[in-house]
Amino acid sequence: MPELPEVEIARRHLVHWLDGRRVVKADADDTRIFRGARWKDFASLRGRLLSLERRGKYLLFSFEEDRGLLAHLGMSGRFVRRSPDATVPYSRARFHLDSEEVIHFADARMLGRMETCPASGLHALAPIQALGFDPLADGLDVARLRDAVGDSKQELKVALMDQGRVAGLGNIHAAEALFRAGLHPSRPPGSLTDAEWKRLARGVRVALDFGLREQQAEEEVRYLKEGGRNGFLVYGRAGTPCVRCGTTVESVTQGGRTTHFCPSCQPSGPAPESRGRRDARIARRR
Ligand SMILES: [Zn+2]
């Protein structure tokens, strides 16, 4: 399911597809992706795309004449570009371009979300106001991460997935970041040492960079649950040997989600400094 890297790649594709083009018509079906927003307003979107911003897992479209759209891919949503006569399964909303191509928003499970509003009002929408810092758009450093997460009373992985603290991390990349940092997912954020915050900031950065690299060559984002290759270090690998140390990867439920981790690479308490340095060296090699 889409997290920050997948949404960022979707953004880059859309910018590329809409570059130099005009939306000549937009139309949508009356589905629950509009969640009470007026679905008929989707048809008001037209003209050139002036900007497309990503905040966390949200996309903020600004078209000419202050026409705006907020979009969230949910669990299975994706934008695809097709010729005008193509049939797209689960197409819920469409941009028709002056090139005659059509950009569809396809969403089988309809957990995605769309809402039109004046482009100038996009940032004031409640879901955007509620977001914490965005590690890619705002930049990620140790102080920013510690400020956002350090006072949480939740378990570390749950705190990392809290969109009000760090926008865009989900189950996959939070697990990957913790593995790369050698930190147990259940650690209380307040217990992390300076060295561990540094490793965590680096782990988040490297996990997101990896996600971006994995997806960027594809014309369309493919989600792991749909049979994509699992290139992750620990996510989805419970019961198999850890790629680093061979210990069996375990799973635990946190905040209603399954977390995968290596009990040996991610010890439950603060690591002695010597071990911390060793883990950091291992992390650097990968
Ligand atoms: Zn391991």
* Known catalytic residue at 40: no
Cβ(65)–Cβ(47) under 8 Å? yes
Catalytic residue among 257, 263, 267, 270: 257
Residues 74-122: tens digit of each pLDDT: 999 999 999 999 999 999 999 999 999 999 999 999 999 999 999 999 9
Mean pLDDT of 11-34: 96
Give me ligand 1 centre to Cα 18, in Å: 44
The DSSP code for 133 is B
What does the alpha-carbon distance between residue 104 and residue 235 come to, in Å, rounded to a whole number?
A: 30
Task: Select which of 2, 135, 185, 189 is catalytic.
Answer: 2
Q: How many angstroms does the Cα of residue 263 sit away from the middle of ligand 1? A: 7
- 257 a catalytic residue: yes
Catalytic, 263? Answer: no
Domains within the chain, CATH numbers bracketed:
4-129 (3.20.190.10), 142-285 (1.10.8.50)
Q: d(Cα 74, Cα 58) in Å, to the nearest integer?
A: 9
Q: 32-46, 173-187, 260-274 — which is least confidently predicted?
A: 260-274
* 8 Å CB contact between 116 and 68: yes
| pLDDT, tens only, 187-239 | 999 999 999 999 999 999 999 999 998 877 666 666 655 656 688 999 999 99
Catalytic residue flag (residue 127): no
Rounded to the nearest angstrom, the distance between the alpha carbon of 179 and the centre of ligand 1 is 8
CA distances from 94 to 23, 45, 99, 123 (A): 10, 10, 14, 23
Ligand 1 centroid to Cα of residue 205, in Å, is 20
> Strand 58-63 to strand 78-82: parallel, antiparallel, or no bridges (unpaired)?
unpaired
DSSP string, 52-107: EEEETTEEEEEETTTEEEEEE-TTT-EEEEE-TT---TTEEEEEEETTS-EEEEE-
- What secondary structure letter does DSSP report for 271? P
